[in-house]
Structure 1
Amino acid sequence: MSEGEVKTESVGTVVVAGVANLAIAVAKLVAGVVSGSAAMLSEAAHSLADTTTEVLLYLALRRGARPADVRHPFGYGKESYVWAFLAALFTFVAGAGFAITHGVTTILVHEHSGDYLISYVVLAVSFVIESVSLTRAVRQVRSESRRWRTTPRRFLRLTADTTVKAVFLEDSAALVGLLIAGVGVGLSEWTGDELWDGLASILIGLLLLVVATVLARSNLSLLVGRAVPERLHREIERELASLPTVDRIDTLLTMQLGPADILVAAKVDFRDEATGGDIEADADEAERRLTARYPEIGYVFLDPTRSLPGVAGRRARRTQDEQGPVTDARVTRGGPDPATDAGDAPGRPDRPA
């Protein structure tokens, strides 16, 4: 699957989730008003928050995909994380805040006016619609995880495409919330006590808090400037170290510039006998190899440098603020690094996060 196809699939996933959540929000709101159920009104707030989230995620995909220009030479990829972060905050404030507050009010007031039947009907229909939306998100997650030869769980944890991650988590939380609402409404009808309806509303709010926190932390980390995962870092390092004129990699830095844009910068110790032409040729070859194998890599910068004394056989530093002897293990040309290979399965790395 090409990068363009992945972006198109992400947009489709967000649009399907948004339309589904809007329809469900209206149905839940009507059911909540007619039945007086706190859990149903909380679920309506949940779906409304999810709908707004999908709108913000759509903006994230569109605005983050704009090409680079003079004022933004590395593109607008990080803007997608701004909108995704705002979406997480909206879920946190609007969805969770309303659900918890309304649940507490219901427990204190203990009032219920209306029929329970409409709540059950709307919950059942909503469950079916949310399942359709989640199925599409799961299909994309599995497709992407196969492309990067990793597990869906690991892909979701490390992916830099926070839009598909948000849709998956929100739809999963929506299905769990529907089950909680159903149990709360059922217990309230069975016992005649609205305490259960209020507790269900509070639990739905807490569920939204968890999802919002996970998504906010993920987007904030990417906004600050997160490196690629360990396995991908090692693969990039090996590709650079395998070049004919490269003696060793002293420093290797990576950063996610957007969901599908990675920056690679390295301080490279070239062989003493290498000519300027050799170095230029290998620098071009490095960029060709990396971009061919990993289309998400958009920028490769190599800085010829002299290695510090006594660092033979050691692995590249991760940062440029280390002074004196390097204590991290380093990789040089011509040999594997058992310390970093242990515990990681071979094959292509996970999608960068």
Structure 2
Amino acid sequence: MIRENIVLFGALFANLGIAVAKFVAASFTGSSSMISEGFHSLVDTGNQVLLLFGQHRAKRPPDVRHPFGYGRELYFWAFVVAILIFALGAGISAYEGWLHIRAPEPLKDPTWNYAVLGVAFLLEGTSWSIALREFASAKGDESWWEAIRSSKDPATFIVLFEDSAAIAGLVIAAVGVWASHAFGDPRIDGIASLAIGAVLAAVAVLLAREAKGLLIGEGADHRVVARVRELVALTPGIDAVNHVRTIHTAPDAVFVAISADLDDRLTMGEGEALIERIEAALKAEFTELSSIYLRPEKRADAVPLGEMAAQRKAGG
């Protein structure tokens, strides 16, 4: 269980410790950007808890009300995570920044800020490298952006996005603290907090868009669809494949519906046996195909029997 969710557990423990350290530093220094970063890490911690909860709920077996299982519940919680990043992470950061620009606080010794930011950078970097390694091993030959767009498991790419935003936020916070003291203007720290909020808002929008697509329902990888079509079409007794339609019911579960034109000379028993052989062959090659439905159906361009008889009669 822990090895399976190493990315989530790594990010969870890292963010929890970082959040505590940031709030302690903020209490000593009054830094706006440090407060924003503290809330940022706290929101990230809650997000990992929600994703773990979503994974647990998604593993429930099918029942009468949900015959294809609960796998897509994980996509719901991924969408909730995106909303929380936007509403809490970006919202609080923007609010803190506006407060400190409007009513700047006197500058204090930044030593605490620099120490916590350094430790946070090491911890966030470790979590980010774990997420990056896990995602890189799963993406294959696809580019990073193509892999994110085609990924059906939101947990890994959400942590990757969160950690990337966290590292960017730490850099912004460090620059804000340094610039505030270098130029003697505490409002710069508030501007840094606004910038952190903007980064979080951008990440939240990207995550929400990806989660929305998964919630609506995305098909399997085009290479899987092409291979399914090929396997069915090459099976003796199949005259043509009309269409192959797929949808992910979970990150590792795909429902596939196939319309195929069977040889008219097959008896009903032979047709049933043929369909069973096709289903067994497909599941042997693609373990993610959890449900396979093959519908015998004439090709769309085939001429109905009644129309064919009328054409022959008209032709004499």
**Common fold by TM > 0.5:** yes
Displacement of 1:216 after TM fit?
1.5
* Equivalent residue letter for 2:215: L
Q: Given residue 185 of structure 1, which amino acid in structure 2 is its aligned partner?
A: V
Specify which of 179, 195, 216 is matched with residue 203 of structure 1: 195
* Greater mean deviation of Cα atoms: 286-295 or 136-145: 286-295
**Structure-1 residue corresponding to 2:92:** 98
Percent identical among aligned pairs is 38
1:171-190 aligned within 5 A: 171-190=163-182
Q: Secondary structure at the match of 1:226?
A: coil
- Alignment partners' CA distance in 2, 1:10 and 1:53: 17
Partner SS for 1:179? helix
Structure 2 vs 1, CA of residues 276 and 132 (structure 1 numbering), >3 Å: closer, same or farther? same
Give the Cα–Cα distance (whole angstroms) in 1 for the partners of residues 149 and 2 of structure 2.
Answer: 21
Partner of 1:276: 268
Q: Give the distance between the partners of 1:292 and 1:117, measured in 2 at CA.
A: 60
Q: Which runs of 5+ in 1 are unaligned?
A: 1-6, 312-353
Rounded to whole Å, the distance in 2 between the matches of 1:9 and 1:235 is 31
Tell me what 1:300 maps to: 292
- Distance in 1 (alpha carbons) for counterparts of 2:281 and 2:202: 41
Mapped contact 1:104–1:198 kept (Cα < 8 A): yes
**Residue matched to 2:311:** none
| Residues 224-263 of structure 1 aligned to structure 2 (within 5 Å) | 224-263=216-255
Pairing of 1:304-343 with structure 2 (within 5 A): 304-309=296-301
Conserved 8 A contact 1:37-1:112: no
Q: Pick from 5, 20, 23 the counterpart of residue 11 of structure 1.
A: 5
Segment of structure 1 superposing worse, 212-221 or 283-292: 283-292
| Correspondence 1:135 to 2:129 | yes
Residue identity in the other structure for 1:12: I
Matched residues in 2 for 1:279 and 1:200: separation? Answer: 68
Flag as ranges the 4+ runs of structure 1 deviating above 3 A: 7-10, 149-153
The verdict on how the C-alpha distance between 1:152 and 1:284 changes in structure 2, with shifts beyond 3 A counting, is farther
1:41 to 35, 46, 54: 35
Counterpart CA distance in 1 for 2:27 and 2:133 is: 35
Cα displacement (A) at 1:310: 6.1
Q: Determine which structure has the larger helix proportion and give its number.
A: 2
SS of residue paired to 1:257: strand
- Residues 33/281 of structure 1: CA separation in 2 closer, same or farther (3 Å cut): same
The 5 Å alignment of 1:30-109 reads: 30-109=24-103
1:78-101 deviation line (CA, Å, top 9, x unaligned)? 111111211111111111000011
CA distance in structure 2 between the partners assigned to 1:241 and 1:299 by the alignment: 19
Shift of 1:8: 5.6
Separation of aligned partners in 1, 2:149 and 2:300: 36
104-113 vs 56-65, which deviates more?
Answer: 104-113
Relative to structure 1, the CA distance from residue 310 to residue 284 in structure 2 (aligned partners, 3 Å threshold; closer, same or farther) is closer
1:233 Cα deviation from its structure 2 partner: 2.2
Mapped to 1, the partners of 2:94 and 2:172 lie a distance apart of 14
AA partner of residue 268 (structure 1): A
Name the aligned partner's letter for residue 248 of structure 2: Q
Q: For residues 93 and 18 of structure 1, what CA distance do their matches in structure 2 show?
A: 20
Q: Distance in 1 between matches of 2:106 and 2:259?
A: 68
Matching of residues 283-294 of structure 1 within 5 Å = 283-294=275-286
What letter matches 1:203 in structure 2?
A
Gapped runs of 5+ residues in structure 2?
A: 304-316
Q: Secondary structure at the match of 2:52?
A: helix
Distance of aligned partners of 1:112 and 1:235 in 2 relative to their CA distance in 1, 3 Å threshold: farther
Distance 2:272 2:263 in 1: 13
Aligned to 2:149, the other structure's residue is in SS state: helix
